[in-house]
Amino acid sequence: MNLTARLKDDRGALSLEAVILFPVLIMVLLLVIAFGRISSAGNAVDAAARNAARAASLERTGGAASGAGEQVARSVLGRQGLQCTSTSVSISTAGFSAALGEPASATATVRCTVRLSDIGLPGLPGAKTMTSTFTSSIDSYRQRG
């Protein structure tokens, strides 16, 4: 078989391979985008809960702690650029009723539902709820209200 006959037999093989591989490559790219968004959202929710617990533990009263923690959590989520379809911030302030000298803590729980439906990957859920909880110690010898 001469060279020109052999080249004619392979015509269109590259096009066929591209048609078969292109959808697979697109699916892999969309999976990378989805996992990146989930990972980024998890980090942002962790940071929001950590900062909210710390801000709450620095206050002197349970009411002030709850307000400060919620404000800080929402601020951190906003600075991180995370767009939540629903956000929930819960600050446990039971530690503020502990007696002076007793160990106490403030706990912040942040929930954020991240939309995934805009990625367009078949089989991917429409949204994922990320939850993070952190606890921060309250100074045992600081006066509380």
Supply 19's token pair.
């048609």
| pLDDT value, residue 10 | 60
Note whether residue 108 is domain-resident.
yes
List pLDDT tens digits, range 19-39.
Answer: 888 888 988 998 898 888 899
**Structurally, how many domains does the chain consist of?**
1
| pLDDT value, residue 3 | 56
Name the β-bridge partners of 118: none
Note whether residue 144 is domain-resident.
no
Supply 117's token pair.
């439906």
Specify whether the CB–CB gap between 46 and 80 falls below 8 A.
Answer: no
Note whether residue 70 is domain-resident.
yes
Q: Which domain holds residue 126?
A: 12-138
Spatial distance between the Cα atoms of 80 and 82, rounded to a whole number of angstroms: 5
What is the spatial order of strands in the sheet that 104-115 belongs to? 84-92, 104-115, 127-138
Note whether residue 109 is domain-resident.
yes
Note whether residue 16 is domain-resident.
yes
